[in-house]
C-alpha cells in the first residue's frame, strides 16, 4: 500500500458517531484542513422529513412547547418522556444536517448512513454501496460510544453490553468494511477512563482499553498505517452537561475546549512518529467516600521485569539496574490511593530500605506488597503499615521495604520553608556546580530519566541548595511505576542532594537507608523549576542524616523529608561508574 504524507481531497474516511457531537466537530475541522470525503455512520434516521409541528422551532424549549401542543391537538396527554423523545428526534436530525452542511462548506464531501455499527451485515452492505460513489475507504475514525455509569455491583449485563458493543463490536465491524491492510489512517476515540480508571465506568474503561490495545496490534501488523488511539478527557460539550462540569471543577478535572480538542485531533492525524496511544486530559479523580470503620488487609502481587520498566536503564550501578527507592514509595502510595479513590497520599513515616531490588540473577519471580490498615478517623485519615517482600529460590522470605503511610481526604496547606541561616529559600552561597557535570564525573550515576539537578547553588558543611527541573518522561518509559499523585522521577532529586553532599565532602558514594518522615503538600510536575534545600542534622565518614525540602523560589513547600539517612562508602565509587547494563 502506498501511503500519502497526509490526508488530501482523495482521502475517504469512514466515521462512526461522526454526524453528531465531538466527532462531528473533529470531522468538520478535518474537512477544513484537507477537503476530504466522509462516510458518516449513525443510528439516527434523517430519511423522514421534519414533522410539521417542529417547523420554526428555534431551540429545545420552543420545540418542547410545540410537541406538547401537537400531542394535545391529537387528544393525547403530553407525557414528559414522549415530549423528550419527539424533541430528541428533531434535534438529532438538525445536528446531522448541520454537520453535513459544515463539511460541504469546508470544501469536503459527505454521505450519511443510518446504520448501527453493531450490526455488521447491514453496515457492510450500506458502506459498500456508498463507496461506489465516494471511492474506497482509506481511513477509519471510530468515535461511536455511549455511557451507562453505575458502580460495578449495580451494573446489569444489558448495561455492560450497551456500553461495550458500540466500541468493540463496532470497531470489528468497521474493520470488516475496510480492512486495516487497505487503510492509510486509523483513529480511535478512547478515553482517559481506560488509562486512569473512573468510578462507575468499568465497562467504558474496558471497552476503551481494548481500543488502545487494538491500536498497538494494528500498528505492529500495518506499520505504514497511521494509527492512534486518542484517550480523551471530558470535552466542554457533548455528554458533559453544565451540572457535570461543576462536578469536574470540584474534582479538579479540566475539560477540553472544543476549539483546542479539534485542533489537537487534526494535528495528531499527521504527527510524525506518533505513538499508537496518547492521553489528552487529566485523571478523573474520584470524590472521596466514607471508608467504613473496619480495618482491612490487602496483598498486591507484582512481577517486576527490566523489559517492562524502560526507565530502569537510567538507574544502574555496578552494571545492574536497581529499583529507585522513590519508586518503592510510589508503588506503596499508588496502591493505597487506588484502594480509596478520593483520598490522597500525604506522608510516609519510618520508611526503611531493607534489601533493595536488584535486576540481576537474584531477582525474584514475584514481589508482594502487604498493606495493613491501622487507623481510620472521622477527620478523613487512613493509615497503613506497608511491607514489600519476596521469596528466594530456597523459599526464604526477603524483605525489601517497609513504611507507615497516611492518606488524607484533604491535604493541609503547604507551609513556607524558612532557611536556618535566614537567606532566601532560592539563594545560593559558596560553591556552585553545574548539574550536568555531576552526572558525568562519577558523583551521580543517574541517566536522563533522573537527571533533575540543574545547578548546585550552595554547598557548605551544613547545607546544600540546588535548582532542579526534570523534562517530562514519556509514559511508555515509566512502565509499572506511572506518575500519579506522587512523582518518583522528580522526587529522586531530593535524595540526590545527599549523594552530592557526601561525594563533595568525603569523595565517597552513598545509598539511602531510611527516612523518619516524608510529607507531600503538593506534587511537583515535570518541566517546572523547583529548589531542593538539604540541611545536615548529623554526619560521620560513613553516615549522613539530613532534612530535605523541595520548594519553589518563594519557599512554598512541595515536599519535605525529615531524618533522611544514607550510608557512605568509598567501595561504592567504582559501582557508580559502572552505570551501564552489563
Q: What is the pLDDT of residues 564-575, one digit of tens each?
A: 999 999 999 999
- The answer to whether position 1 is within a domain reads no
DSSP collapsed to 3 states, 400-453:
EEEEEEEEECCCCCCCECCCCCCCCCCCCEECCEEHHHHCCCCCCCCCHHHCCE
Q: What is the pLDDT of residue 243?
A: 66
**CATH assignment at residue 159:** 3.40.50.720
Residues 246 and 303 in one domain: no
Q: Are 275 and 334 in the same domain?
A: no
Quote the pLDDT of residue 291.
Answer: 79
**163 part of a folded domain:** yes
Query: How many other C-beta atoms are found inside a 10 Å radius of the C-beta of residue 413?
Result: 10
Question: Global pTM?
Answer: 0.63
**Domain CATH number, residue 346:** 3.10.129.10
Element (H, E) at 207: helix 202-221
Q: 369 and 253 in one domain?
A: no
Q: Could you tell me if 38 and 152 lie in one domain?
A: yes
Mean pLDDT to the nearest integer, 80-96 = 93
Q: What is the CATH number of the domain that holds 478?
A: 3.10.129.120
208, 196 contact by CB (below 8 A): no
Q: Strand pairing of 367-377 and 297-302?
A: antiparallel
My answer on whether 270 and 324 are in the same domain is no
Which residues on neighbouring strands pair with residue 345, listed in sequence order? 407
Other beta carbons within 10 angstroms of residue 431's beta carbon come to: 12
Please check whether residue 87 lies inside any domain of the structure: no
- Per-residue pLDDT tens over the stretch 405-445: 999 999 999 999 987 555 566 666 666 899 999 999 999 99
Residue 89 lies in a domain: no
Structure confidence at residue 247 (pLDDT): 65
Using 50, 70 and 90 to split pLDDT, how confident is the model at 287?
low
216: phi then psi, degrees, rounded to nearest 5: -65, -40
120 lies in a domain? yes
In this structure, are 32 and 166 located in the same domain?
Answer: yes
Helix, strand, or coil (residue 186): strand
- Pair 272, 330 in one domain: no
pLDDT, tens digit, 9 for 90 and up, residues 1-10: 344 457 999 9
Helices (H) and strands (E) in the chain, counts: 14, 22
What is the pLDDT at residue 341? 81
213 and 174 in a single domain? The answer is yes
In a domain, residue 291? The reply is no
Res. 510 pLDDT band, cuts 50 70 90: very high
Residues 556, 471 share a domain? yes
Cα 115 from Cα 126, distance rounded (Å) = 8
> Above pLDDT 90, what percent of the chain?
81
Strand 509-520 and strand 433-434: pairing? Answer: unpaired
Q: Residue 12 contacts by C-beta under 8 Å, 6 or more apart in sequence? A: 36, 37, 38, 39, 131, 134, 135, 136, 137, 138, 139
281 in Cβ contact with 256 (< 8 Å): yes
- What is residue 197's predicted lDDT score, i.e. its pLDDT? 85
Residue 56 in this model has a pLDDT that exceeds 60: yes
Same domain for 365 and 453? no
- Residue pair 36/249 in contact (Cβ under 8 Å)? The answer is no
pLDDT at 480 over 50: yes
Give pairs for 256-262: CB < 8 Å, separation 24+: 256/232, 256/280, 256/281, 258/22, 258/25, 261/22, 261/25, 261/26, 261/232, 261/235, 262/25, 262/26, 262/28, 262/29
pLDDT one-digit tens code per residue, 165-201: 999 999 999 999 999 999 999 999 999 999 888 888 9
Residue 253 has pLDDT above 80, yes or no: no
Helix (H, G, I), strand (E, B) or coil at 196: helix
Residues 529-576: tens digit of each pLDDT:
999 999 999 999 999 999 999 999 999 999 999 999 999 999 999 999
Q: Are residues 509 and 461 in the same domain?
A: yes
Do both 307 and 185 map to the same domain? no
In a domain, residue 4? The reply is no
Q: How many CB atoms lie within 10 A of CB 459?
A: 21
Number of domains forming the structure of the chain: 3
Q: Do 216 and 198 touch, CB atoms closer than 8 A?
A: no
Domain that holds residue 458: 429-577
**Mean residue pLDDT across the chain:** 92
417 domain residue, yes or no: no
286 vs 371 pLDDT, higher one? 371
For CA atoms 480, 484, 490, 495, the dihedral sign is negative
Residues 6+ apart with CB under 8 A from 458: 427, 428, 429, 430, 431, 432, 464, 465, 466
> Tens digit of pLDDT for each residue in 333-385?
999 998 998 899 999 999 999 999 999 999 999 999 999 999 999 889 999 99
Whether 19 and 143 have beta carbons less than 8 Å apart is answered as no
DSSP codes joined into one string, 97-133: HHHHHHHHHTT-EEEEEE--TT-HHHHHHHHHHHHHH
Predicted confidence (pLDDT) per residue in 238-250, tens digit: 666 666 666 676 6
**pLDDT given at position 251:** 64
Amino acid at each position: 500500500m502506498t501511503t500519502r504524507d497526509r490526508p488530501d481531497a482523495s482521502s475517504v474516511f469512514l466515521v462512526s458517531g461522526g454526524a453528531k457531537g465531538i466527532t462531528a466537530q473533529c470531522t468538520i475541522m478535518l474537512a477544513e484542513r484537507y477537503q476530504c470525503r466522509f462516510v458518516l455512520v449513525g443510528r439516527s434516521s434523517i430519511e423522514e422529513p421534519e414533522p410539521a409541528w417542529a417547523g420554526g422551532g428555534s431551540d429545545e424549549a420552543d420545540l418542547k412547547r410545540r410537541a406538547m401542543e401537537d400531542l394535545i391537538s391529537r387528544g393525547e396527554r403530553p407525557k414528559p418522556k414522549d415530549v423528550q423523545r419527539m424533541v430528541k428526534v428533531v434535534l438529532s436530525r438538525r445536528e446531522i444536517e448541520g454537520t453535513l452542511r459544515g463539511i460541504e462548506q469546508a470544501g469536503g464531501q459527505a454521505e450519511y448512513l443510518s446504520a448501527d455499527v453493531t450490526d455488521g451485515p447491514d453496515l457492510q452492505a450500506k458502506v459498500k454501496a456508498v463507496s461506489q460513489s465516494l471511492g474506497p475507504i482509506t481511513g477509519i475514525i471510530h468515535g461511536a460510544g455511549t455511557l451507562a455509569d453505575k458502580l460495578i455491583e449495580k451494573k446489569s449485563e444489558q448495561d455492560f453490553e450497551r456500553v461495550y458493543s458500540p466500541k468493540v463490536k463496532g470497531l470489528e465491524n468497521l474493520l470488516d468494511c475496510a480492512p486495516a491492510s487497505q487503510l492509510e489512517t486509523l483513529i480511535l476515540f478512547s478515553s482517559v477512563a481506560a488509562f486512569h480508571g473512573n468510578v462507575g465506568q468499568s465497562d467504558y474503561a474496558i471497552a476503551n482499553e481494548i481500543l488502545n490495545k487494538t491500536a498497538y496490534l494494528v500498528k505492529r501488523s500495518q506499520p505504514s498505517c497511521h494509527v492512534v488511539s486518542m484517550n480523551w478527557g471530558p470535552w466542554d460539550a457533548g455528554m458533559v452537561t453544565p451540572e457535570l462540569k461543576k462536578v469536574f471543577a470540584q474534582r479538579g478535572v479540566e475539560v477540553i475546549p472544543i476549539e483546542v480538542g479539534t485542533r489537537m485531533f487534526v494535528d495528531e492525524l499527521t504527527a510524525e512518529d506518533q505513538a499508537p496511544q496518547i492521553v489528552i486530559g487529566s485523571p478523573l479523580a474520584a470524590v472521596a467516600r466514607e471508608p467504613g470503620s473496619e480495618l482491612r488487609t490487602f496483598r498486591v502481587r507484582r512481577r517486576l521485569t527490566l523489559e517492562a520498566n524502560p526507565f530502569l536503564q537510567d538507574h544502574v550501578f555496578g552494571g545492574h539496574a536497581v529499583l529507585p527507592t522513590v519508586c518503592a514509595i510510589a508503588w506503596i502510595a499508588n496502591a493505597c490511593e487506588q484502594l480509596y479513590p478520593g483520598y490522597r497520599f500525604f506522608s510516609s513515616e519510618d520508611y526503611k530500605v531493607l534489601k533493595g531490588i536488584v535486576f540481576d540473577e537474584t531477582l525474584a519471580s514475584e514481589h508482594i506488597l502487604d498493606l495493613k490498615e491501622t487507623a481510620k478517623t472521622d477527620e478523613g485519615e487512613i493509615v497503613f503499615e506497608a511491607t514489600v517482600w519476596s521469596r528466594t529460590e530456597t523459599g526464604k522470605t526477603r524483605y525489601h521495604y517497609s513504611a507507615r503511610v497516611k492518606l488524607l481526604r484533604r491535604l493541609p496547606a503547604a507551609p513556607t520553608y524558612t532557611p536556618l541561616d535566614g537567606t532566601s529559600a532560592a539563594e545560593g552561597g559558596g560553591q556552585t556546580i553545574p548539574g550536568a557535570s555531576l552526572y558525568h564525573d562519577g558523583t551521580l550515576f543517574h541517566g536522563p530519566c533522573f537527571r533533575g539537578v540543574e545547578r548546585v547553588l550552595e554547598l557548605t558543611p551544613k547545607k546544600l541548595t540546588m535548582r532542579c527541573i526534570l523534562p517530562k518522561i514519556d509514559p511508555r518509559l515509566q512502565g509499572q511505576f506511572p506518575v500519579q499523585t506522587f512523582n518518583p522521577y522528580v522526587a529522586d532529586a531530593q535524595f540526590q542532594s545527599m549523594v552530592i553532599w557526601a561525594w563533595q565532602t568525603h569523595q565517597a558514594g552513598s545509598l539511602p537507608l531510611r527516612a523518619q518522615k516524608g510529607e507531600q503538600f503538593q506534587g511537583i510536575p515535570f518541566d517546572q523549576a523547583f529548589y531542593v534545600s538539604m540541611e545536615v542534622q548529623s554526619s560521620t565518614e560513613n553516615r549522613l542524616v539530613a532534612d530535605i525540602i523541595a520548594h519553589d523560589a518563594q519557599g512554598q513547600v512541595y515536599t519535605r523529608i525529615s531524618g533522611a539517612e544514607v550510608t557512605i562508602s568509598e567501595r561504592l565509587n567504582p559501582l557508580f561508574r559502572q552505570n551501564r547494563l552489563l
